[in-house]
Amino acid sequence: MKKRIIHIVLSFTTLTATAAPPTALQCEQLINPQGIDTRHPRLSWQLSADGNGIRQTAWQLLVASTPELLAKDKGDCWTSPKTTSDQSRMIAYAGIPLKSGHTYYWKVHIWSAGVSDGGTPLAFDTWSAPAQWSMGLLDPRDWKAKWIGYDSSFSWDSVSKFSRLSARYFRKEFKQPGPIKRATLYIAGLGHYIVSINGQPVGDQVLAEPPTDYTRNVKYNTYDVTTVCKTGENAIGVTLGNGRFFTMRPKYKPQKIKEFGFPKLLLQLDIEDDKGRHQLITGNNSWRFTADGPIRTNNEYDGEEYDATKEFAGWTNAGFDDSRWLKPQYVSSPGGRLTAQMNEPIRVMSTINPVSIHALQIASISTGDHPTPPTTWILDMGQNMAGWLQLKANGQRGEKITLRFAETLKPDGDLYTANLRDAKVTDSYTLKGGGEEVWHPVFVFHGFRFVAITGYPGAPKINDFEGQVVYDDLPAIGQIETSDTLLNHIIRNAGWGINANYKGMPIDCPQRNERMPWLGDRATGSLGESYLFGNGNFYAKWLDDIEESQKPSGSIPDVAPAYWNYYSDNMTWPGTYILVADMLYNQFGDLRPIQKHYASMQRWLHYMSAKYEHDGILTKDKYGDWCVPPESLQLIHSKDSLRNTDGTLIATAYYYHLLTLMQKFAGLLHQPDTFAKHAAVAKNTFNKRFLETGHYSNNSVTANLLPLCFGITPQNERTAIIRQLVQKIAANDNHISTGVIGTQWLMRGLTEFGHADLATQLATNKDYPSWGYMADQGATTIWELWNGNTADPAMNSQNHIMLLGDLLTWCFEDLAGIAPAEPGFKAIRMNPVFPRQLNYVSASYDCPYGVIKSSWRRNGGIINWDITIPPNAKAILNGKTTVGSGTYHYTLLQDSSLKKNATAKQTK
């Protein structure tokens, strides 16, 4: 390909600079968080001045114990010195020791500089508005409450493979003698809890708390409940659901499925009166409980059954007669240490209205001598989603509505449930009668597009139903649109697939009897996701889950938390531990996960190399290039099963790559580099073993791609291997032949090697196998398999995201040209490609410094490019020109063949 010079011709637009206070104040990447347990929380803000080249020159932080002191500029907890620095992210609190249960108030004073419209230097200083955080319980001794619960089932429950365990309702009344200054609730309710005080729900989170390996770590939440508690009589009510604690499939494959026991509760309510006296309400056996309530069963795979005739009105208010309720038991602690939830809660994030409803006509059952079966109504949400269905109904007491969920329909119009395996995915609601009733489940979620409704009183109307989309409340931070409508459709499907699979941990799918946090699915997926969702805290929590699943030997499982016991020892799934830590550093500038997990990562690598490395070759693999299109499978070694790429090649390439990341981490942490020599041996032996004339191993796309992307290929062989790679794809009619592993590097790799047009071809293909094929077949999410419309139902989820590979990353980094050049986008690498198939791309990305924009549009032989760089960041355009914050317009002259790393020349 001919080397090209892009002429960047035009001017840049400047805006008048005005000093505005810093915004987006965050503590531990959360806005005004309650109940954190970090002793040196990190504070961040964004600058918000207009103008060009705005950068912070100094900062000063004030942290006070009361809002009044802060208002008087008195930082009694911490008054930092004025610090000459452009750092505006994650500055660690360094004041007096923080105390359990206290609230802290803070603000920041910043000094910044830039240039005005006319190029006049500007300098200004401003204070932010106040922000706050509160501390949780920092010392285990701060917990005065005891775990309560009831360690057996009831006659209406069944503890079997398909467990049916009713929800448990706990209540306590108490009297508060004097006026309340502040009331704070600390709660851990396993598996899930809902809490109300005086009839009012506390918080708007759902499916709280996030799942962990409860024997290692139990999350608790803190709520300010000052306004719901009152002087006089009060009542508190907690409902406990099963979640992952009382597992969905107990008494079944105990060697595989981890069980934790019956639901349990730890609760402490601290009420401070106007004289500073504290009353502590704690969970103990003076509480009352029952399991004979409306939620008859709740099982994440099988659904929730609710009988409204069993409701007990007013039970979370004072004065309710609980004399027939039982005394809870003191139960053992689940074992894990108590830590504050430091990631965003799960919420109902949006609602969708169904697009159609009709009565199901099935000839075979509606004819003959049989009585007419009850009408089944098929509701179509128009979107494969994860969450639940809210219904409205008006009927007789005792009438029961049943809802069954599925992703697709069979040709006869009924639900297609074969791909759900043995998940029953059925909710039911029994009416209490007497008016309109509105209901949705609370302790389960379903992955579905279609719902089969039976037993509905009368004929349901479409607006009797609402889909409530449930996932972690992560900010939506990225948008991208291109001139290719199919690609836009794929990106939209990706967004739905990602949100569906965020459930306090990243799960593989939301519908069948699995829903497991498989590591390999997120190895680079987590990076692509970070361009759509602010997933920094979410994945930091998951790295803790992974660490907690590590065995003393160093082995890391393929599923973490290890609800399924899969310690199969391979590089590609557990290696996600290291890749995600790197992602958090690059995307969010968060070094802490690397600091926190470095030792465990190192232990894992040592374990793997001691056990499975021979002269640089990593001999153990498990999944190969998982889920390649089936026709790409071949026999590589006669003794193996069908694969598309040699597992030893994959394992060794990943081993090398992970070693290089550990080298980087060692450098960041000023640790000795113990990895370089292993990496050198691995690289050398890899090439000796797998490099053949002009290609690697069996010449699959993945076999050639990995060594190229990881820098294993000798310089003098690169051109030949790239040629082979491209030819292999061409021989496959320019279609994809990679699985979960190859697809993680494919799009970025091809683009980096000068083949952005080919990458774009793969991204916009409409026929099999491709992402576009899925969309063209009606998918509204991403399938588990390239042939998801014809594959074996046992492994055929319609809502897996692992095959996205690096598609989203490529869209943002290469098509839009928005990539971090320094951690957290302090410097932005803006180097878009302009593939011939696309006429425009427009993206915005809310990075830690503010919103980055990049839009280009082809106009004849010219490209018009508009970019916005947030304050206190800079951008490096096409590897050459550095610009500070501001909004700029460029015109790029180009001929038809454009090379990615072409030299850019800017003239004002």
Residues that bind ligand BGC (CB under 6 A): 508-509, 514, 518, 520-521, 623, 800, 802
CA distances from 599 to 497, 564, 666, 669, 676 (A): 33, 24, 10, 11, 17
DSSP conformation letters of 42-80? EEEEE----SEEEEEEEEEEEEESSHHHHHTT--SSEEP
Would you say 196 or 644 has its CB closer to ligand BGC? 644
On the CB side of 548, how many CA atoms lie within 13 Å of its CA? 22
- The distance of closest approach from Cβ of residue 800 to ligand BGC in the complex, given in angstroms and rounded to an integer, is 6
Distance CA 650, CA 501 (A): 26
Task: Give the relative orientation of helices 756-764 and 485-500 as an angle to the nearest 10 degrees.
Answer: 70
Pair 167, 239: CB distance under 8 Å: yes
Cis peptide before 510 (omega within 30 of 0): no
CA distances from 680 to 606, 618, 683 (A): 16, 14, 5
Q: How far is CA 793 from the centre of its chain?
A: 26
CA angle 864, 869, 872 (to 5 degrees): 160
DSSP conformation letters of 221-265? EEEE-TTT--SEEEEEEEEEE-TTTS-SS-SS-TTTB----S-EE
**Assigned token pair, 348:** 């109902």
Distance CA 585, CA 605 (A): 20
SS (H, E, C) 368-403: CCCCCCCCEEEEEEEEEEEEEEEEEECCCCCCEEEE
Instruction: Report the amino acid identity of residue 163.
Output: S
- The distance of closest approach from Cβ of residue 538 to ligand BGC in the complex, given in angstroms and rounded to an integer, is 18
- The distance of closest approach from Cβ of residue 759 to ligand BGC in the complex, given in angstroms and rounded to an integer, is 24
CA angle 379, 384, 387 (to 5 degrees): 85
For residue 640, what are the β-bridge partners? none
Report strand pairing: 303-307 vs 426-430: parallel
Task: Give the relative orientation of helices 701-709 and 647-668 as an angle to the nearest 10 degrees.
Answer: 20
Pair 538, 474: CB distance under 8 Å: yes
Rounded to 5 degrees, φ, ψ at 257 are -105, 125
Q: Which of 415, 477, 475, 474 is nearest to 446 (CA)?
A: 415
Q: Which of 523, 503, 522, 525 is nearest to 514 (CA)?
A: 503
DSSP strands (E only) in 303-445? 303-307, 329-330, 337-340, 346-352, 356-359, 376-393, 400-406, 408-409, 415-416, 426-430, 437-439
Would you say 145 or 509 has its CB closer to ligand BGC? 509
3-state secondary structure of 355: coil
Would you say 176 or 781 has its CB closer to ligand BGC? 781
Give start and end residues of each alpha helix (H) in 697-804. Answer: 701-709, 718-731, 746-752, 756-764, 771-776
Pair 162, 246: CB distance under 8 Å: no
896: CB partners within 8 A, 6+ apart: 836, 861
- The distance of closest approach from Cβ of residue 500 to ligand BGC in the complex, given in angstroms and rounded to an integer, is 13
**Assigned token pair, 790:** 């014809």
